[in-house]
Every structure is written in structure tokens, then in C-alpha cells.
Structure 1
Amino acid sequence: MERREIRESGVDAVYWRPVRDALAELVTELSPEDIEQLLDTPPDPSLGDVAFPTFRLAKERRRPPAEIARTIAEALSARGFSARADGGYVNVALPRTAAVRDILRETAAPDFARFSWGAGKRVVIDMSSPNIAKPFGVGHLRSTVIGQAIRNLLLRARYEVLRVNHIGDWGTQFGKLMAAYAMWGIPEGASDKIRAYLELYVRFHEEAERRPELEDEGRRWFKRLEDGDPQARKLWRMFVDESLKEFMRIYDRLGVSFEYILGESFYNDQIPGVLEEVRAKGLLEESEGAFVVRLGDDLPPALLLKSDGTTLYLTRDLATALYRKNVLGGDLLLYVVGREQSLHFEQLRGVLRRMGYPWADAIVHVPFGLLRFGGKKLSTRRGRVIFLEEVLDEAKARALQILEEKSPHLADKEGVAEAIGVGAVIFNDLRQSRLHDIDFDMEEALSFEGETGPYVQYTYARAKSLFRRAGAACEEALADVLPDVRAIAGDRGWELLKLVAAYPRAVRKGIELYEPSAVARHILDVAKAFNRYYQEERILVEDPEERRAKLALVARVARVLADGLDVLGLKVLEEI
């Protein structure tokens, strides 16, 4: 995604702006945007409020960072700033009262943590994409919730976003399932047909280890499906319809929907034309009976047709990419798919480049690591699959048990437990870098203490409870332009305000890196800081001006927590 020439929003830019502008005059080698990208908050508040690292500048000037830092600090001090050099950093303490006013004004603005660089651009996100005839396992959770969070982030930069669920409804695995169904069937009156299909699929692979000829039978069934055989098509349609019913139930619980649900089969009619185009451009070569496109020395040849004439994932993804570009009008095509598919997307881009499409680089693979339970990767073939619905049910049940103990008189405990339980599962994923492998621990994920979704949801509810107790409206406190900010300009209030003010920076980072954890980590920091403030400061004091100032701060904390939870796909709970 392209960089912007100027930063359009973000209160960090506002209360850092005097420092940035002064540095821009002193450091001519860097643009104002470059400088602002380098600005950060010192790890120790006693060092100041804004830190400028000189290491990049040291390379430009070929001088020691510490020497450059001293020179810049002296120049800033001469301009009236409270600046000091600490190693290779210039640390600046801001005039607090003015900075507090700036933050209060900007955090009340309608466009707080909103950007506009995506206006007029369309992004197509490939996300979730479970396989037909298999239960919705936790293995598809990551693509679903990461994709949804990225969509929510992109909306904050005014992109138009189309979510596409590329259902896995085609391929040789369906031939295997059809062969298994034809040989063994499922129990008459089976209440859970999807599980019965999974058991057939697992049984097929177990039997195939002893009888390798079953693999050939599976391939024959899939060829029948591709050729339009009525019996094969009837079985396939049955598998698809039953599966979609289950998927919709899960998506409803996760709060996820799609602009398009287009299975791999949707592109079948387009594949012959794509293959003909590749052939007409002289790119398709025969190799041991199969047909490939050679991609040079850096990548292995891209296999598009097997020797038996069947297509592959790559063949179908070529047709898919062309459809998303030419029909859906995607300026950017994101694929939220596991990192093990990195080679696949390199080959996809490589084939499109060889076909003469300059937009091939608009295809962006957004990889993620594994989700493990008990340290094991999940595998459907071996039957080691954990059903997401069971995980969500258990999370809800445990959340309900906690609420019965902590909040026995809470209204709609069932609904709140669902929001907490599902939110805990989602947040456990998104608080960690998407590239990391994740070991899921239910007890840890549901804790109301620590780095969890329930902790952030509870903190928001705690903040809102102050307004109910005060008989005040959060919206009015958010819009309040305070005549006196001294009550929140002390060290505790200032540290919390700086975190609130830095929220747009986290949103921007999440957008630019397709990294929802940037927002998750930030709202965790805000929640922790607010809970410290709540414990150490009396907020609902008698003095009306002090109470007014503190509620204005709490309103901004609530705004950031609510927006962050919304980005991540968690429900915002007014009361827990």
C-alpha cells in the first residue's frame, strides 16, 4: 500500500507538531513526514514526552549519533524547548497545559483516528475460505478474524472493501469424499451430517494407506465431477448446501459477513478461457504429460494442468484473480492465507506478470502462523480437528459461570456471556502478531485480568459505569472543552492522555502493515493505564470542575477502547 505525502490525522501529529516543525528546520536531510515517522514516546516518562532517534541521520551525516543528538538538543533548547540528549536520542518535554488542551480538542473530533488516503480505492479481501463437507474447524478462525479486522482497519482510511469467501468446494478431495460416500455412505438419520462427512474423509485416508488404489478411485470421481456427471454433481450439491448452513451459523456468532461468497467452482467456466490465453501467449509448456508455466530461475514452474487434464488451485486462482480485478474492480487484492502458501502466491504473481498484467503486484499475500491446541498443528486428514463451534460454546459456558459468580444480577447474562466468550477467542488471536504461531489456552483467554479480550471489555464497562454513577452523559463529556485542565495535567492523567492520543498511530500501523495486533496491543496499554488511574485517582470528586475534567478524560478512554474493540470485532459491553 502506498505511503502518503503528509500525515492526514492522528493526534500524535498534533501535540508533537511543534517539535516536528522545529526539527524540520534543523534537519533538512529528512522531510517532515520522515521526521514524524521517527518520533516516538520515550520508554521512561522522566526522559520527556517526545523522542527523536538520530541513527538514520547519523548515516546521512556520517557522524556519531550521540554527537548529533547533543547538537539538535542544544538547538531546540535555544528555541525555547525543554530538550536533552540521551545517547543517540533527543528527548523533549512538552509544555503540558497546552498539549493537554490539544489532545482534548483532537480526541473529540469526529475524524479522530480516521484517514482519507483510501478514498476512491477498492480492496478485495480473500478471507476465511473453509472447505465444504468439513466442520468449521479452528484452523479457519485465524483467516476469518484477521481478515475481518483488516477490513475494519481499511474502512478507517476510507477504502471500499469487498470481503470474498472463497469456499473450498472443488478439488480432488471431493472425489475422495464422493468415493467414500459411494462405498460406505453415512448412518441413516445422522443428525450431524457434516461430522459424518468428516468421518468418511478420515476413513478414506486411513483405508488408502492400506489400499493405495483408493486414491485412483478418488481421482476418477473428481474427473466425473469436472465432466458434469449427474450423480457426482448431485452429491457435490448436497455437500455444499449442508456445509453452508453450518458456516452461516458460525459467522453469525463471530459477527462476520461477506459481500461475496464465491466457491472455487464458480470459476470453472472461466478456466478454459484463461488456459487458452496462457497458451496463446506461448507460456504453456508440456512437462511429463502435464502443462506448466516457467517462471525463471527463482521460482519452480507453475503447474496449471495435471496429466489427467484436471486443474489445480493455481489454475483456479488465476481465474479468480482476473475476475476480482476485471469484474469486481479491485485496486488491491489481499489474500489472508496461512504462511505455508507463500510460494503459491509468488507463482500466481509470476504467471500474471508473464501474461503481461502489470497489476500482478496488486496481489498481496497476508500470511499468518499456525493455531495450535496442545502444541499440535491441526489436520483434517488424520481427524485431529477441533470444531470452532465447540470452542465457542465452551468459552460462552465458562464466561457464563464467571458472570454467575461476579455479576449474579446482571441483565441478559446469556447475551453478555456470548459476547465475552466469543470475544475472548477472537482477541486471543488478534493480540499477537499474525505471523506468530499461537497456542490456545481457554483459561488464559477468558481471564478478566491480563492481556485478554474480557479485560478490555470489562475496562470499557468500568469507564462507562462512572458516568452512570455521576448521572452524566459520556457524549457530553467527550465534547466538553474544559476551561481548566489542571486536574488531568498531573503525571497520572498526562500518561493516560498520551496513550489515548497515540491511538491513531496504532490504527495507522495496523492499516499499513495489515497487523490488527497493533490496535490490540495499544488498547491493552490504554486499559492498563486507565485501571491504574482508576485505582490511584478519585474520579467522582465533590469539586465540579475537577470532576468535569476527569470525566472528560474518562470519556476519551472509553472512545478509544470502544473503537479498538470494534476494529477487532469484539462487542462493546456497556455493563458487565
Structure 2
Amino acid sequence: MDYKKIIAAAVFAATDAALNEEEIYRLLEVPKQENLGDYAFPAFALAKTFHKNPAVIAEELATKVKSDYFDHVEAVGPYLNFFLSKNVVSNEVIKQVLNEGADYGYFDEGHNGNVPIDMSSPNIAKPMSMGHLRSTVIGNAVANILAKRGYHPIKDNHLGDWGTQFGKLITAYKLWGNEEDVKKDPIKNLVAYYVKFHEEDVEHPELDDEARLWFKKLEDGDEEAHRLWKWFSEVSLKEFQRVYDILDIQFDIYNGEAFYNDKLDEVVELLKQKNLLEESEGAQIVRLDEYNLSPAVILKSDGASLYITRDLATAIYREREFDFAKNLYVVGSEQTHYFKQVQAVLLKMGFESAKEMHHIPFGLITVNGKKLSTRSGRIILLEEVLNDSMDLALKMIEAKNPALPNKEQVAREVGVGAVVFNDLKNERILAEDFNLEEILKFEGDTGPYVQYTHARGQSILRKAQELAITGSDYALDDANAWVVVKQLEKFPEIVKEANDRFEPSVIAKYTLKLSQAFNRYYGNSKILADDGGIHARLGLVQATATVLKESLRLLGIKAPEQM
């Protein structure tokens, strides 16, 4: 039930249609102080129509606006403040959550429209470091939220399996590599070769020329270059899968950059047909002056492709293959200008679908204030961080609740959930500094705090099973319960906002507010007291646990039953 619509209809009826209901709806506010009601309508908007002081208009309307959903309406200065009926609204909201269960908050906005999501996208022959966490978990949460709004997300792990870095890696392997070492510990040794290349090319810039030559050989189908590339790719994918298994994240397709290698000629040909290509210092470029963007370099002077060549082919393929409703790219904010170039080139080529291309940027992740970099050797492996988090969670459980059943599984869910929640709780554009011990605390703005709140609710419900409680009325007029009810009522709106903004932090912040409200209620109420209100109180507990579990699921986090 949208209670703002009820208020808008009541105001509309009382003001002789001075404003339409949609206009009134948009003007409604939530007062900053709870003692000022649940919603407020600013009477300023009617001053010109009625030629009266807004405060006088509010006073007059306070006696005219009526609804069974209102406990009372009062004028406070120029505002008309609405106090919803706690009994009526709590009964409706709790019933709706319990009836709909995990489907609460679902809305078929997307009509099953396809939405490819370019996410995670680690580079072959490099480990998955903490730097890969953000694209992976943000993309996964965005996909879950889109599905909740009726879209069909298609998670595409657009692997970095092509490009000049392979020329560098092949060069390094040829100079310093050893097949047996790579077989024993593939990623560790391949990264060591890559780092050594960047150390050596400072004094020996001719290494860059050799790397470019090897990549050109790879593009031209050279047998040795292709054999090494395929080998590096296979061992890397095995390493990546272990991390994805820990995170419990699956992908629909793994179309890496190499997948589009045979589609690049068409891109170049289409650009030529549109007379968009021109030569600049030997390279082929597309000018984007009308978009206030720098020229997009499509082919280098040696004829080799670039990232943008392959991303143009990717976008065209996705339009043809999926007829997408939206085309999303979860990539760091440092690539914002680049994705504007990709979109602009597509629009100049005549691909109107590019209007639904959205770059979902995010800030850097640092560990103890230091930026991560593969080429400089400053790597913190994501798998190691996840394992450390799970180990620390297990130690905490053994110290606080050693008799907990399935404590290893709970530690896994808490440890992984803590890492994911910490990443998603702040707006994605902000940088994130990672501190393992802070994120695993069971109080404060953490994933374990939300998970523990859910587990607390489940504990109450398990105790209540012995009481054989029945009833059909969920009316509550307790002030602390009311705060929880209002949070529950907001959930569908929260999902919509998170979807509209591609912003999982909206849901993460919501879970913290709901948890805080519930824990205040828990601390001030005798939920299991054997009186006439126990059925309604347990309904509120169950509704809260349901919404917390679903909120965590949307973020890609498990909700343990016990902790």
C-alpha cells in the first residue's frame, strides 16, 4: 500500500482539485522529527490559488482532510502534518509482508527485458586481487536488484584475455619463464614475470617493442603465441573459479575480449561506411568534438586493435544477441571518459541502443590507505582476504558461541558477508579503505550486525513455536514497533531507488536502519509475553526477518538462522 497516494487523494479532495494528485504526491515530505508526524504537505503550493497565508491554509485543511488511515492531522505553521493510524497501517504492512514473503518488494517494471551486465572482468594470467572485489560484488547486487524489478539480468564476465599485456607476458615468459614453475604455481609465477617485465622495461624500452610484436603475432594467429595465450587462460580461469565459489557468484556468459576478435573487421568497416574514420599520426581515429570528448583511437599505427575497438564490437554483439533493455558496465570511475567515448562512437555509427548504455562507476579500493597495483607488485589476493575473514569469523564464534551448530558454515557466511557488505554499504563512487577487524564487528555499520539481527529474530520465532499462537490481527500501536513498521513499508520504494540509481548502498543502508529499529524494539518490548498482543508482535518479528533476509540476498549475502 502506498500511503502517500492515500494522503495525496485526501488532500486533492479537500482542496477542490487546486493541484492534481500527482503534484500533491511529489510535494509530500517526511518530517525530520518523528513528533511531527509521518508525512507533511507544504501549504505554500496552494498560496497563489487560495490567496491566503500558507499557515492559514494548513489550519483550514487540518479539519477537512479525512481518511480511516489517519490517526489525526494537524497544522504546524505552513505544513499539514499527517499521523497515520498505527493500528491500521501496522496490520496491513505486516500482513502484506507475511503473505508475499520473499516476493515482497517485487515489481514487474522490466517485463523480463534483457540487461547484460559487464562485471568482474579480471585479467587472464593475473590473480584476483582486492581490486577485483568491487566490480564483482557491485555487479552481482545490481543484477539481483534488476531481477527484483522484473528485468532479466545477464551477468557477463568480460574477461581481460586479449591486449598488449599478453605481448608483455609472452615476452617475459620467453625471457625468464620456466614451464615447470608455471605448472606448479601458475598465477604466482606468471605475475612475477609480468612484474619483472615492468621493472626491466624502465632501463630497456626495447622490451615494449618486442611485446607489441608478440601481441601482433597473437592477433595474426601465430601458433606459438596462441598456444601460450590458451595455456595462460586455462590456468587463470581455474584460479578465478575458486574465488567465485567462495562468493557464491555465478555468471551467465564468459565472453572475454578474445571472443570479439573476429568481429573487429566489421566495426572498422562500419566506421568507414559512415565516413567516421580519419588518420592521425598513422592511427585511425573518430573525432568526438560535438560531444566535447577527445578523439577515440580505433586502430594503432601498426593496425592493432585497442580496448575501444573490442568494446564497440561487444556493444554491437549484445544489441543483436540480446535486444537489450539496458547495457551496463560495472567498471571503475577512472574509465568514465572512456565509456563516454564508446557511447558517443556508437551513437555516431547509428546505434540508438547506445542511449541505454550505462557506465556504473565505483571508487578505488585501498588497503590501509595504499592503492593496489599488479605491475608494481602491490597485490593483496582476494581469496586470501576472504579466507582470513572466514577464519576470524570462526574464532569469534568459537569464543562467543562454541556450541553453535554448523559453525564452520556460519563462519563462512559471516566472513564472506562482512567483506561484501563493507564494500556495498557506502555509495559506490566513494573510495573504500579495507580493514578486516573493523568489518567483522557484531555492532556498528557491519554485515555481521545485520546478520545477527536476522538471527535474533529467528531465535525468537523458534521459541514461539512451542506456544501454539494463533490470530489474524497484526495491529500494533507501540511507538518502537511503529518505527519498524514504517521501515518495512518503505522496502519496495527502497528497491526501486536502488534499481533506478544502480546503487546497492541504498539497500545496505536500509538494512542498517531496519536492524537498528528492530533492536530498539527488541530491547524495549517483551515480545513473548503471554498476552493479547503476542500474535501481532511475532508477526512483526517474522516480517522483519523476512525483509532482512531478502535485503541481504539482494546484496549477495547469506542470512544465517543462528549465530
Q: Tell me if both proteins adopt one fold, taking TM over 0.5 as the criterion.
A: yes
Tell me, what secondary structure is at the counterpart of 2:448? Answer: helix
Task: Summarize deviations over 1:134-158 as a string: whole Å, max 9, x none.
Answer: 0001111111111111111111111
Q: Provide the residue aligned with 2:352 in structure 1.
A: 358
In the TM superposition, what is the alpha-carbon distance from 1:37 to its structure 2 partner?
Answer: 4.7
The answer (yes or no) to whether the contact 1:138–1:387 under 8 Å persists in 2 is yes
In the TM superposition, what is the alpha-carbon distance from 1:395 to its structure 2 partner?
Answer: 0.3
Provide structure 1 residue ranges, at least 5 long, that are not aligned to the other structure.
1-10
Q: Provide the residue aligned with 1:284 in structure 2.
A: 277
The amino acid that maps onto 2:296 is A
Counterpart Cα distance in 1 of 2:559 and 2:328: 28
Inter-CA distance 144–99: structure 2 relative to 1 (3 Å threshold): same
The amino acid that maps onto 2:82 is V
In the TM superposition, what is the alpha-carbon distance from 1:265 to its structure 2 partner?
Answer: 0.4
Inter-CA distance 472–51: structure 2 relative to 1 (3 Å threshold): farther
Task: Summarize deviations over 1:352-390 as a string: whole Å, max 9, x none.
Answer: 111112221111111111111111221111111211001
Query: Which stretch shifts more, 142-151 or 376-385?
Result: 376-385
The 5-angstrom pairing of residues 8-23 of structure 1 reads: 11=1, 13=2, 15-23=3-11
The answer as to 2:531 corresponding to 1:547 is no
The answer as to 2:179 corresponding to 1:174 is no
Tell me, what secondary structure is at the counterpart of 2:149? Answer: coil
The amino acid that maps onto 1:574 is E
The answer as to 2:123 corresponding to 1:144 is no
The answer (yes or no) to whether the contact 1:339–1:369 under 8 Å persists in 2 is yes
Tell me, what secondary structure is at the counterpart of 2:492? Answer: helix
The answer as to 2:545 corresponding to 1:558 is yes
The amino acid that maps onto 2:188 is R
The answer (yes or no) to whether the contact 2:62–2:80 under 8 Å persists in 1 is no
Counterpart Cα distance in 2 of 1:155 and 1:255: 17
Counterpart Cα distance in 2 of 1:268 and 1:182: 24
The answer as to 2:131 corresponding to 1:153 is no
Inter-CA distance 411–277: structure 2 relative to 1 (3 Å threshold): same
The answer (yes or no) to whether the contact 2:394–2:411 under 8 Å persists in 1 is yes
- Please, which of 27, 31, 44 is the counterpart of residue 42 of structure 1? 31
* C-alpha RMSD of matched pairs (Å): 2.3
In the TM superposition, what is the alpha-carbon distance from 1:67 to its structure 2 partner?
Answer: 4.9
Counterpart Cα distance in 2 of 1:405 and 1:187: 46
Counterpart Cα distance in 1 of 2:342 and 2:10: 47
Counterpart Cα distance in 1 of 2:395 and 2:125: 33
The answer as to 2:525 corresponding to 1:499 is no
Counterpart Cα distance in 1 of 2:331 and 2:16: 42
In the TM superposition, what is the alpha-carbon distance from 1:441 to its structure 2 partner?
Answer: 1.3
Counterpart Cα distance in 2 of 1:188 and 1:278: 46
Q: Provide the residue aligned with 2:241 in structure 1.
A: 248
The answer as to 2:413 corresponding to 1:419 is yes
Counterpart Cα distance in 2 of 1:22 and 1:46: 21
Q: Provide the residue aligned with 1:108 in structure 2.
A: 98
The 5-angstrom pairing of residues 439-450 of structure 1 reads: 439-450=433-444
TM-score of the superposed pair, with normalisation by structure 2: 0.94
- Please, which of 431, 439, 445 is the counterpart of residue 451 of structure 1? 445
In the TM superposition, what is the alpha-carbon distance from 1:520 to its structure 2 partner?
Answer: 0.7
The amino acid that maps onto 1:216 is D
Counterpart Cα distance in 2 of 1:109 and 1:419: 27
In the TM superposition, what is the alpha-carbon distance from 1:109 to its structure 2 partner?
Answer: 3.6
Task: Summarize deviations over 1:519-553 as a string: whole Å, max 9, x none.
Answer: 1111111111111111111111122x322111011
Inter-CA distance 396–33: structure 2 relative to 1 (3 Å threshold): farther
Inter-CA distance 70–423: structure 2 relative to 1 (3 Å threshold): farther
The answer as to 2:391 corresponding to 1:390 is no
Provide structure 2 residue ranges, at least 5 long, that are not aligned to the other structure.
none
The amino acid that maps onto 1:534 is Y
Counterpart Cα distance in 2 of 1:211 and 1:244: 32
In the TM superposition, what is the alpha-carbon distance from 1:460 to its structure 2 partner?
Answer: 0.4
User: What is the aligned residue count?
Assistant: 554
Task: Summarize deviations over 1:407-452 as a string: whole Å, max 9, x none.
Answer: 1011221111111000000000111101111111111110000111
Inter-CA distance 466–347: structure 2 relative to 1 (3 Å threshold): same
The amino acid that maps onto 2:138 is I
The answer (yes or no) to whether the contact 1:74–1:83 under 8 Å persists in 2 is no
The amino acid that maps onto 1:106 is Q
In the TM superposition, what is the alpha-carbon distance from 1:31 to its structure 2 partner?
Answer: 5.2
Q: Provide the residue aligned with 1:193 in structure 2.
A: 186
Inter-CA distance 235–37: structure 2 relative to 1 (3 Å threshold): farther
The amino acid that maps onto 2:393 is A
In the TM superposition, what is the alpha-carbon distance from 1:556 to its structure 2 partner?
Answer: 0.7
Q: Provide the residue aligned with 1:78 in structure 2.
A: 64
TM-score of the superposed pair, with normalisation by structure 1: 0.91
Task: Summarize deviations over 1:182-225 as a string: whole Å, max 9, x none.
Answer: 00004734532101111111110011111111111111111111
Runs of 4+ aligned residues of structure 1 deviating over 4 Å after TM superposition are 27-31, 60-64, 85-89
Task: Summarize deviations over 1:30-87 as a string: whole Å, max 9, x none.
Answer: 65445445544322211111134568x48x96999x9546524531432246334556
The answer as to 2:81 corresponding to 1:94 is no
- Please, which of 447, 454, 461 is the counterpart of residue 455 of structure 2? 461
Q: Provide the residue aligned with 1:202 in structure 2.
A: 195
The amino acid that maps onto 1:130 is P
Counterpart Cα distance in 2 of 1:181 and 1:30: 72
Counterpart Cα distance in 1 of 2:76 and 2:232: 65
Task: Summarize deviations over 1:547-574 as a string: whole Å, max 9, x none.
Answer: 2111011011111101101000101111
Inter-CA distance 518–208: structure 2 relative to 1 (3 Å threshold): same
Counterpart Cα distance in 2 of 1:442 and 1:379: 20
Q: Provide the residue aligned with 1:481 in structure 2.
A: 472
Counterpart Cα distance in 2 of 1:37 and 1:445: 38
Task: Summarize deviations over 1:104-146 as a string: whole Å, max 9, x none.
Answer: 2322342521111111421111111111000001111111111
In the TM superposition, what is the alpha-carbon distance from 1:95 to its structure 2 partner?
Answer: 2.5
Tell me, what secondary structure is at the counterpart of 1:261? Answer: coil
Counterpart Cα distance in 2 of 1:63 and 1:171: 68
Counterpart Cα distance in 2 of 1:345 and 1:112: 35
The answer (yes or no) to whether the contact 1:372–1:438 under 8 Å persists in 2 is yes
In the TM superposition, what is the alpha-carbon distance from 1:329 to its structure 2 partner?
Answer: 2.1
The answer as to 2:313 corresponding to 1:322 is no
Counterpart Cα distance in 2 of 1:62 and 1:250: 63
